[in-house]
Amino acid sequence: MTSTANPQTTAPTGLELPHRLRAQFPILQQRLHGRPIAYLDNAASTQKPHAVIAAVADYYRHQHANIHRGAYQLSQDATAHYEAARARVAEFLHAADPAECIFTRGTTEAINLVAQAWGGANLQPGDEIILTELEHHANIVPWQMLAERTGACIRVIPIDDRGELQLQAYQRLLSSRTRLVAVTQVSNALGTINPVAEIIAAAHAAGALVLIDGAQWVAHGATDVQALDADFYAFSGHKLYGPTGIGVLYGKRELLEAMPPWQGGGDMIERVSFDGTTYAGLPNRFEAGTPHIAGAIGLAAAIDWVLEIGFEAIAAQEQRLLALATKRLAAIPGLALQGAPRYQAAVLSWIAVDPPVATLDLGLQLDLEGICIRTGHHCCQPLMERLGLAGTARASFAPYNDDAEVERLAAALEQILQRARRRSLAAAAAPVSQPARPLEPTAAVHPVAGSAPVAVSAAAPGGSVADPEANASVNRPPTPLAPAPNAQTLAYPPASAASPAAAAEAIADLFEALPDWPMRYQQLIELGDAMVPLPAALKTPAHAVSGCQSQVHLVLRVRPGSSDIIEFRADSDAGLVRGLIALLQQLFSGQEAAAILAFDAAGFFARIGLDRQLSLTRRTGLDALLRRVRQLARAQNAANGTAGLGPGPGP
């Protein structure tokens, strides 16, 4: 794996570079929902060029064998390729010795390795670890776990309103108790480029070590760990155009040699007996078991690919795209850009405020246009709390992106906001006594035991139940203002059918007739628009349901006067999730606990093509909502002595 000359002197212009590069990425030749893919989620993971794919495939086709101990030629060749990859990484980082570069599964594992091996051996009660408000959870949670175990304390460098670290506050945090400073080189949410050289120098002056999370930097600029004087440096291959499941921890030799092993097993030992074990030297001590050989080889190929383009050309193209995107999105009425650091990587975050549109809905509607962005809290919940937001929409650029994709993004956002304004105006103009909403069944609801039934307008089966107050007859005289609703006085949707299975058939008749995801998505948005919102007074932390891509609130109860009828109302800031809530209400609200537990919700949503939306991995809060409904149903079954009827399939 020889080094490739850096052709920066003949680098193509910003308009030529993406055209030349896109042809090297098979996935970018595809279409998404009938449109060319505009992949703008490079901070989450970059796509893979032919060179990387070919290197991994060639290894599996012609070179694969387990490494380090095989006497046969194939194993020796595989070992040589693996160690050559390590040497390539060391050269890329400007490390003094390849043995200082430990292969891991990624940045997260690298940070955990330091926290467990170095931190566990060196931290005492009262010692301090300094983090920043910009950190990814991967550079927060391992240190919290370590602090809980050792009695160490965590201190946090604040940011200003631009999204930049307050370095004077950092200087005040440093003390004789500081043992480690762990800081991201680039914020994955705002793109802030931190002055890590200055941070390292100040920490060393206070006698502390420094770990740099370089995951968001290594694909954008040159890295010299010796010039930085970094004690530890971590990055992931998949953010550098390499394979997933491979990353690197760099550590100064003297630090790594003093650290105990983190994991035990094969290849990290010199000798094992039941009387004791002696451990291997670097780097094997920290690479227990069979490593990701193909991943290391693919990472080396990715490094070669990046260096062939040259960081000067990469940075010029990415900064040009960032400037264009910032200008275009800042000019869109109703969008609010988040963060304005003076030194910024090719990451741009925003929210829609006028009218408000949930970031999940922004991401889903852009997806229908073939545009891939990231939405949610980006694994930076403390930063989002500092910003006063639940999450943002984020576009992040790579040198294979071009001006046309930025224009597509801006045009699509303008259209989304225009549609949202039209819906908002239509909703504001609609009379209180509007006709029955789509897919609402005829039934009666008893909000409180002993109360008179309240009629609900008839409509086709298949969706949410409107609030009775919103469906009052136009001839009904006005009534005095009622007190603010609570969980007991709230009107709950009744059963829409004799059982969840019967309700499911009505829903299936509709959704199975819709041929593709865009049409199913539109139907869900319409269901969500038709669903009466949960009163704001009930959108409290007590009723909140976790989900990083949307805010969900649930009011759940057993119907008064009943021992097993489950009723609920729910709401979300995301239109898609509101539509899914409408379906769940039709399936389960007003149904017996045993019937809810017996119904296979996961199978049904797969049947109608919505299984991806209910999946736990979507993190929308829907899975947690359904689990709470089933948890109450299970508790009522147990209380009624019918626990044997559950739990049934589904979440």
More confident site: 474 or 214: 214
Tens of pLDDT along 274-302?
A: 999 999 999 999 999 999 999 999 999 99
Q: What is the pLDDT of residue 549?
A: 73
Q: Give me 596's structure tokens.
A: 């809810």
Delimit the domains of the chain by residue range. 8-45+310-426, 443-476+485-645
Tens of pLDDT along 413-430?
A: 999 999 999 988 887 777
Q: Looking at residues 362-391, what average pLDDT do you find?
A: 96
Per-residue pLDDT band at 400 (split at 50, 70, 90)? very high
Taking each helix axis from N to C end, the angle separating 575-588 and 622-639, rounded to the nearest 10 degrees, works out to: 20
Tell me which residues are annotated as active site.
379
Tens of pLDDT along 96-154?
A: 999 999 999 999 999 999 999 999 999 999 999 999 999 999 999 999 999 999 999 99
Beta strands 552-558 and 565-572, pairing class: antiparallel
Residue pair 192/186 in contact by the 8 Å Cβ criterion: yes
Dihedral angle of Cα 597, 603, 609, 613, to the nearest 10 degrees: 60
State pTM to two decimals. Answer: 0.85
Q: What is the pLDDT of residue 475?
A: 38
Q: Give me 558's structure tokens.
A: 């057993």
Tens of pLDDT along 316-327?
A: 999 999 999 999
21 torsion bin: left (phi>0), alpha (psi -120 to 50), beta (else): alpha
Torsions phi, psi of 453, nearest 5? -65, 145
Q: Is the pLDDT of residue 250 over 80?
A: yes
**Residues 6 or more apart in contact with residue 389 via CB below 8 angstroms:** 338, 351
Q: What is the pLDDT of residue 613?
A: 66
Q: Give me 217's structure tokens.
A: 């930097």
Q: Is the pLDDT of residue 31 over 70?
A: yes
Q: Indicate if the alpha-carbon torsion angle 484, 583, 524, 651 is positive or negative.
A: positive
Q: Give me 480's structure tokens.
A: 């005095």
3-state secondary structure of 352: strand
Residue pair 171/142 in contact by the 8 Å Cβ criterion: no
Strands (E), 69-208: 101-104, 128-132, 153-157, 178-184
Q: Which CATH class is domain 8-45+310-426?
A: alpha beta
Beta strands 38-39 and 35-36, pairing class: unpaired
Q: Looking at residues 499-525, what average pLDDT do you find?
A: 91
Q: What is the DSSP letter of 219?
A: T
The matching CATH number, chosen from 3.40.309.10, 3.90.1010.10, 3.30.1060.10, 2.30.30.190, for 443-476+485-645 is: 3.90.1010.10
Q: Is the pLDDT of residue 637 over 90?
A: no
Percentage of the chain modeled with pLDDT above 70: 86
3-state secondary structure of 449: coil
- In the 3-class helix/strand/coil scheme, how is 42-102 assigned residue by residue? CCCCCCCCHHHHHHHHHHHHHHCCCCCCCCCHHHHHHHHHHHHHHHHHHHHHCCCCHHHEE
